[in-house]
């Protein structure tokens, strides 16, 4: 920490909280909030969500005996205050850096993180699993799952609640309702929570009944409970949570320590064999005016000035891939009214906010519901529309069955715009786009493309508008392009045809995706050693450019494939093609460069690609080693 604090300096672990009184807990909360703001201003990361749960975090660790009691944070965006209070405050300025703290909860990082979370809506399912394990082991530990109002919109959360209600197992679920997830929450759940909140008559009557009950002996308590259940039903018309088997309490001011503590203590101590839902109202960005006023710009931030709220802007003048996608799609949509955009709660992250501003009636944010997003797109496609489902690679994994069953099998022309392909830096392995080449290229009836630069991305979007007989996908990385001129929206690719970027001899490199620039840099290294490779931008992993592959396989001694993905992708398909045509029986050497068989922790993207062995020096070394060269290249730091 860079500052001395009266209370936070004395807090190393949650057990230290027990020494404070309520007024001191409030002052501690202010210090935790200040430390979090200062730390994230230096590291960047998720700001608004954590600021909204400072008091809740303090109260939870004060009431419960963590780590014996299990506290599970959904997604992990809001876990920074939790990390500060659980032995990691001295490392908080290493957030999202190489060898530093993860931006999410992580089991290997701390015993206070019982479950790793970086994709949303998992806390109730995992919490219920832990609670039932405790029940089977005859343990009495409490299990608390914190889930946001955005995350609870996902189907997985409802599946978990349904199971929890039927299980007769005690689990405490905290619904953190801030009326704002990454983007403004959508769907019926938002209206439902607002309806509960507006039912003030229910709460005033409930408090009146409690006062009456308290005047009588405890022998009336059972009947009183039934009276309260009746009141819930009569005044609110019944609640979803009660009908699913939860005992519902709330809403409660999530920034009021005095209100939180007794409710949490009662939930901890009550002998209730079933799930408990505590509805807590919080304000995202609480305590930092710039974040409070922000729409979604302070959900995830770059480094910023604490006093002005001004975030560091990219110094690059090159356009981001995301904006290139969005702007190109807008131009096509101006000419084609059948084009619609779909996002799963990530409008700004995918560029669909830009599309939505231009075509508000043709952009659909379905909430954190990737499965629904894909089948919704499939339904649109059956009626002749051209849906573009813009979903991060890592999040599309959640909808794989829908991609297979509802799209691929039916050959429906859904267009998948796959953002964040490859390694993504500070968000680490949970957000890396490592597997989409493999899991899409294995499917019949798919066209799978990867852009080597922003100009190629435009051409792939252009091409996708005419693919009406099957699904297609084009992938592109996070960040900015390389600065090439963009083509017009009329320039299209021939399906399944690659391009020769550089002609050489003996060695051919087949690049698929955004490592083309590194491949060209590797070529410069090799040329100094007297080796000039042929370099091909494959463009398509499916269908393959079989004629081009046949040609280079017969004209070269070594064929090397390169892709930002796992085993089973582009290189595997090339290998199968060569094997089927007996091209490997000749004197051809074949090698493929893919991501290593491990998850790569967060770091700067260039460092992650070095670890993955996909920087220019690694590419050159791979070729030299295959040629049995004894040349050793010097790696630069």
> Would you please indicate which residues are annotated as catalytic (active-site) residues?
284, 370, 398
**266 Cβ contact list (under 8 Å, min separation 6):** none
What is the distance between the alpha carbons of residues 590 and 496, in angstroms, rounded to a whole number? 21
Which tokens belong to 65?
Answer: 């005996």
SS3 at position 413: coil
Provide the token pair at 547: 């004629």
Containing 188, the helix (H) or strand (E) segment is helix 188-198
Burial of 279 (0-12, 13-18, 19+ CB in 10 A): buried
Whether a cis peptide bond, with omega within 30° of 0, leads into 560 is no
Nearest Cα to Cα of residue 362 among 342, 332, 391, 344: 342
DSSP 31-77: HHHHHHHHHHHHH-EE-HHHHHTHHHHHHHHHHS-TTTSEEEESSST
Helix, strand, coil percent values for the chain (each to nearest 5): 45, 15, 40
Distance CA 363, CA 344 (A): 11
H or E element in which residue 126 lies: helix 123-136
Going by C-alpha positions, the residue among 291, 296, 304 that lies closest to residue 33 is: 291
Tokens found for residue 485: 């001129």
CB-CB contact of 279 with 199 (8 Å): no
Is residue 268 within 8 A of residue 284, CB to CB? The reply is: no
Query: Helix axis angle, 22-43 relative to 257-269, nearest 10°?
Result: 100
State both tokens at 88: 């990691």
């Amino acid at each position: 920490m860079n500052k001395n604090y009266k209370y936070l300096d004395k807090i190393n672990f949650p057990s230290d909280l027990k020494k404070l009184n309520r007024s001191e807990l409030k002052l501690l909360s202010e210090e935790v909030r200040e430390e979090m703001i200062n730390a994230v201003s230096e590291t960047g990361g998720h700001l608004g969500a954590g600021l909204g749960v400072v008091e809740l975090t303090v109260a939870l660790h004060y009431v419960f005996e963590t780590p014996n009691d299990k506290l599970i944070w959904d997604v992990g965006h809001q876990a920074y205050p939790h990390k500060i209070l659980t032995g990691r405050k001295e490392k908080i300025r290493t957030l999202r850096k190489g060898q530093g703290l993860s931006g999410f909860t992580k089991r290997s990082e701390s015993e206070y993180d019982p479950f790793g979370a970086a994709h949303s809506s998992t806390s109730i399912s995992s919490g219920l699993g832990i609670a039932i394990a405790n029940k089977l082991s005859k343990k009495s530990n409490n299990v608390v799952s914190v889930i946001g109002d955005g995350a609870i919109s996902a189907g997985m959360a409802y599946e978990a609640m349904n199971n929890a209600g039927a299980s007769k197992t005690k689990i405490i679920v905290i619904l953190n309702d801030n009326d704002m997830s990454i983007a403004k929450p959508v769907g019926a759940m938002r209206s439902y929570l607002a309806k509960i909140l507006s039912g003030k008559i229910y709460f005033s009557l409930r408090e009146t009944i409690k006062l009456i009950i308290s005047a009588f002996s405890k022998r009336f308590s059972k009947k009183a409970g039934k009276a309260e259940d009746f009141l819930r039903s009569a005044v609110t018309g019944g609640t979803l949570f009660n009908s699913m088997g939860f005992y519902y309490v709330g809403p409660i001011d999530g920034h009021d320590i005095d209100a939180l503590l007794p409710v949490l203590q009662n939930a901890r101590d009550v002998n209730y064999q079933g799930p408990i839902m505590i509805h807590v109202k919080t304000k995202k960005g609480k305590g930092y005016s710039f974040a409070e006023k922000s729409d979604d710009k302070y959900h995830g931030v770059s480094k910023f000035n604490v006093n002005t709220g001004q975030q560091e802007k990219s110094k690059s003048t090159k356009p981001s891939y995301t904006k290139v996608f969005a702007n190109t799609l807008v131009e096509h949509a101006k000419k084609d009214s059948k084009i619609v955009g779909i996002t799963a709660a990530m409008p700004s992250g995918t560029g669909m906010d830009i599309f939505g501003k231009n075509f508000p009636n043709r952009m659909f944010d379905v909430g954190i519901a990737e499965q629904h997003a894909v089948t919704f797109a499939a339904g649109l496609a059956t009626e002749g529309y051209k849906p573009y489902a813009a979903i991060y690679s890592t999040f599309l994994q959640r909808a794989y069955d829908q991609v297979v069953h509802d799209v691929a099998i039916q050959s429906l022309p859904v267009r998948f715009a796959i953002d964040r392909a490859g390694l993504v830096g500070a968000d680490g392995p949970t957000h890396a786009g490592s597997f989409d080449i493999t899991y899409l290229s294995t499917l019949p009836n798919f066209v799978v493309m990867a852009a080597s630069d922003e100009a190629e991305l435009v051409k792939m979007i252009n091409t996708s508008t005419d693919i009406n007989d099957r699904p297609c996908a084009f992938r592109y990385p996070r960040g900015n392009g390389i600065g090439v001129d963009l083509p017009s929206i009329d320039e299209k690719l021939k399906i399944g045809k690659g391009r020769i970027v550089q002609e050489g001899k003996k060695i051919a490199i087949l690049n698929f995706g955004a490592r083309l620039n590194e491949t060209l840099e590797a070529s410069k290294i090799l040329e100094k050693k007297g080796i000039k490779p042929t370099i091909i931008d494959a463009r398509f992993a499916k269908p393959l450019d079989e004629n081009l592959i046949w040609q280079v396989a017969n004209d070269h001694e070594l064929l090397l494939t390169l892709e930002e993905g796992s085993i089973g992708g582009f290189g595997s398909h090339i290998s199968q093609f060569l094997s089927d045509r007996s091209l490997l029986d000749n004197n051809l050497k074949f090698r493929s460069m893919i991501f290593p068989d491990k998850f790569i922790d967060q770091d700067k993207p260039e460092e992650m690609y070095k670890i993955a062995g996909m920087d220019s020096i690694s590419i050159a070394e791979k070729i030299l080693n295959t040629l049995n060269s004894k040349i050793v290249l010097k790696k630069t730091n």
